[in-house]
Structure 1
């Protein structure tokens, strides 16, 4: 085993996939955002209520390299 493999750390991903959830109906979908950005919150179409609704970031799913 080479010493350089031990000393070098694995690089972190620049983007992550998160779950967005509607605060009205609970409808969810996935979005990719930069790792260093703030948590997402935006208005989008909710098919359950057939209107615009506020979506908030619920949790992180995985890293995207």
Structure 2
């Protein structure tokens, strides 16, 4: 193994884009969070039911580099 392979490793990004899904209606949107943070769960306005509802992180979409 060459020393350059060790020194030139890719650095993981600090942020990721995740898909959030409403527990009530299934409405989805994307949100960016830090890679090392806990899974997101938040209250936000749901346009399908015209009320606030709870959204949970469903899956990771991609890595984000700023």
TM-score (norm 2): 0.90
5+ long unaligned stretches in structure 1:
none
Q: Return the alpha-carbon distance in structure 2 between the equivalents of residues 9 and 44 of structure 1.
A: 39
Counterpart of 1:30 in structure 2 is: 30
Provide the rounded CA distance (Å) in 2 between the counterparts of 1:64 and 1:43.
Answer: 24
Q: Name structure 2 gaps, 5 residues minimum.
A: none
Q: Which of structure 1's runs of 4+ aligned residues deviate more than 4 A?
A: none
Distance 1:14 1:29 in 2: 20
Name the counterpart of 1:12.
12
Q: CA deviation at 1:9?
A: 1.4
TM normalised by structure 1 equals 0.91
Aligned pair count reads: 63
